[in-house]
C-alpha cells in the first residue's frame, strides 16, 4: 500500500500562490465600501407588526403584453426575501418586471420576543390573508397570482386551500410537500430535534442556529472547501461583490417565532401533514383538494435542501386540471440567482401567467 507522495517544491509554490491571493483579497476588500442588495425600486404599501408589503410596478412598454393580474410573492420565514432581488444582474424580480408583471412581495422582517407566540394561524389567516386583501385593494382586481418560495410555498398551499376564490394561479418554487422522502437530509436532521425542548429553552429559535444546521448538511462543501476558495472569490471587486452579497443573505437569518417553529416542524416534518392530510390552521382543516386553479411547480434538480422528490409529491394532491412541473438544472439557490433564472425561469413564469391571465 503506497502512502501520499509530497513534492516539497510544489507545496512551497502553492503556498506562495495562496499567500499572494490572500494579499490580493485584502486589497480588493479595501476597495469595497458597501454591499448593497434589494435595489429594485419599490414602495411599502402596508405594514403590520414586523411585516412590510412591498409593491414593484413594471414599466408600461408599448407593444409588450402585460399580465393584468398582480403577482404576490410569499417568501420563506427563515431567510430574507432579497434573494429574489440580490443584485441588478441576478434579480428575478427585475426580470419579471421587464416581462410585464406587477409584483408585490411580503417582507416578514425580524421577529423578536414580542412575536414568541405567533403561530400558523397568525401567519396564514392573519398576515398572508391581510396582504392578499391589500394587494387586491391596491390593484383593483378580484383575484391575484400567488408565488410561494420554499417554506413560503408550503404556507401558500395552505392559504390557497383555505381561500381558493382569491387566488387565480398558484406557483410553488422549491417547495417541500412530502417532508419524509428518503433523500431529504434536512428532514432526517429534523426528526432528531426535540422541538418542545428547543422552543421552551430558546423562546424564539435563533437564526444563527438554523444556519449551522444547514451548513452541517454539506460540511466539506460549505465549510472547508468554501473557506479555502474565498481568496479566488475576492480576486477583483466584481467577483467579491457577488460573493459578499450571497454571504450577506446567507447569514442575514431572522430568528423564528417560537410557536410558529413548533407548529410548522410538528405538522410538516414530524407528521408529514400534506401527505397524511393532517394540516390544521386555526380551527380549519387544510384540504389540498380545494385547490383547482392552474398550478406551476418549479424545483431544482440538484436541490439538497428540498430534493425534487419532496416537491414532485404535489402532483395528484390537488384538483388542478392544469398542473405543470418545471425542473431547473440547478440547486436550491441557483433557481433564483443563476443565469438560468434570467434566461429560463423568469420567462417561463411570465409566459405561464400570461397564458392563464
Quick one: pLDDT at residue 340? 92
What is the Cα–Cα distance from 127 to 51, expressed in whole angstroms?
8
**Range with the poorest average pLDDT among 149-163, 223-237, 284-298:** 223-237
> Which domain range does residue 281 map to?
43-355
Would you say residue 273 lies in a domain? yes
Q: Does the pLDDT at position 2 exceed 70?
A: no
Alpha helices (runs of H) in the chain, residue ranges in sequence order: 8-29, 92-98, 120-121, 129-139, 151-162, 185-190, 195-202, 207-216, 219, 226-228, 230-233, 237-251, 258-264, 273-276, 308-312, 334-337, 339-340, 346-355
Highest mean pLDDT among 151-165, 208-222, 229-243: 151-165
Would you say residue 1 lies in a domain? no
Q: Does the pLDDT at position 282 exceed 70?
A: yes
Would you say residue 138 lies in a domain? yes
**Range with the poorest average pLDDT among 57-66, 117-126, 238-247, 294-303:** 57-66
55-96 pLDDT, tens digit per residue, is: 998 877 666 788 999 999 999 999 999 999 999 999 999 999
Would you say residue 61 lies in a domain? yes
Mean pLDDT of the chain: 93
Would you say residue 116 lies in a domain? yes
pTM above 0.85, yes or no: yes
Quick one: pLDDT at residue 225? 86
Quick one: pLDDT at residue 327? 97
**Range with the poorest average pLDDT among 125-134, 159-168, 240-249:** 240-249
CATH code where residue 288 lies: 3.40.50.1820
What is the Cα–Cα distance from 185 to 164, expressed in whole angstroms?
32
Q: Does the pLDDT at position 1 exceed 60?
A: no
Would you say residue 25 lies in a domain? no
324's enclosing H/E stretch is strand 323-328
Quick one: pLDDT at residue 23? 85
Would you say residue 36 lies in a domain? no
Q: How many domains does the chain have?
A: 1
Examine the residue annotation and report whether 67 is marked as an active-site residue of this protein.
no
Instruction: Tell me which long-range contacts 187-194 makes (C-beta under 8 A, separation of at least 24).
Output: 187/269, 187/310, 189/213, 189/216, 189/217, 190/265, 190/269, 190/270, 191/269, 191/270, 193/265
Would you say residue 149 lies in a domain? yes
**Range with the poorest average pLDDT among 60-64, 105-109, 184-188, 257-261:** 60-64
What is the Cα–Cα distance from 25 to 352, expressed in whole angstroms?
43
Question: Which one is catalytic: 67, 74, 150, 158?
Answer: 150
Amino acid at each position: 500500500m503506497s502512502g501520499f507522495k509530497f513534492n516539497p517544491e510544489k507545496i512551497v509554490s502553492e503556498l506562495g500562490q495562496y499567500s499572494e491571493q490572500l494579499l490580493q483579497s485584502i486589497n480588493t476588500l479595501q476597495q469595497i465600501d458597501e454591499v448593497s442588495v434589494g435595489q429594485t425600486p419599490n414602495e411599502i404599501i402596508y405594514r403590520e407588526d414586523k411585516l412590510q408589503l412591498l409593491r414593484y410596478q413594471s414599466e408600461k412598454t408599448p407593444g409588450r403584453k402585460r399580465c393584468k393580474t398582480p403577482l404576490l410573492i410569499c417568501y420563506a420565514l427563515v431567510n430574507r426575501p432579497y434573494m429574489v432581488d440580490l443584485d441588478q444582474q441576478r434579480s428575478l424580480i427585475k426580470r419579471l418586471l421587464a416581462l410585464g408583471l406587477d409584483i408585490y412581495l411580503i417582507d416578514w422582517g425580524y421577529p423578536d420576543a414580542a412575536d414568541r407566540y405567533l403561530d400558523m394561524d397568525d401567519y396564514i389567516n392573519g398576515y398572508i390573508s391581510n396582504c392578499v386583501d391589500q394587494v387586491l385593494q391596491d390593484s383593483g382586481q378580484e383575484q391575484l397570482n400567488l408565488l410561494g418560495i420554499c417554506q413560503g410555498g408550503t404556507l401558500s398551499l395552505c392559504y390557497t386551500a383555505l381561500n381558493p376564490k382569491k387566488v387565480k394561479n398558484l406557483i410553488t418554487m422549491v417547495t417541500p410537500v412530502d417532508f419524509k422522502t428518503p433523500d431529504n437530509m434536512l428532514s432526517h436532521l429534523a426528526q432528531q430535534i426535540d422541538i418542545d425542548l428547543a422552543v421552551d429553552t430558546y423562546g424564539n429559535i435563533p437564526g444563527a442556529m438554523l444556519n449551522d444546521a444547514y451548513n452541517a448538511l454539506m460540511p466539506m462543501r460549505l465549510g472547508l472547501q468554501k473557506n479555502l476558495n474565498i481568496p479566488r472569490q475576492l480576486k477583483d471587486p466584481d467577483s467579491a461583490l457577488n460573493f459578499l452579497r450571497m454571504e450577506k443573505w446567507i447569514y442575514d437569518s431572522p430568528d423564528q417565532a417560537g410557536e410558529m417553529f413548533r407548529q410548522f416542524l410538528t405538522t410538516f416534518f414530524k407528521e408529514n401533514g400534506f401527505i397524511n392530510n393532517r394540516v390544521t390552521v386555526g380551527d380549519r382543516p387544510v384540504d389540498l383538494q380545494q385547490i383547482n386553479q392552474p398550478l406551476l411547480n418549479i424545483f431544482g434538480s440538484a436541490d439538497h435542501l428540498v430534493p425534487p422528490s419532496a416537491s414532485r409529491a404535489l402532483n395528484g394532491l390537488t384538483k388542478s386540471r392544469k398542473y405543470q412541473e418545471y425542473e431547473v438544472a440547478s440547486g436550491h439557490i441557483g433557481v433564483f440567482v443563476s443565469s438560468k433564472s434570467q434566461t429560463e425561469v423568469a420567462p417561463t413564469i411570465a409566459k405561464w401567467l400570461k397564458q392563464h391571465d
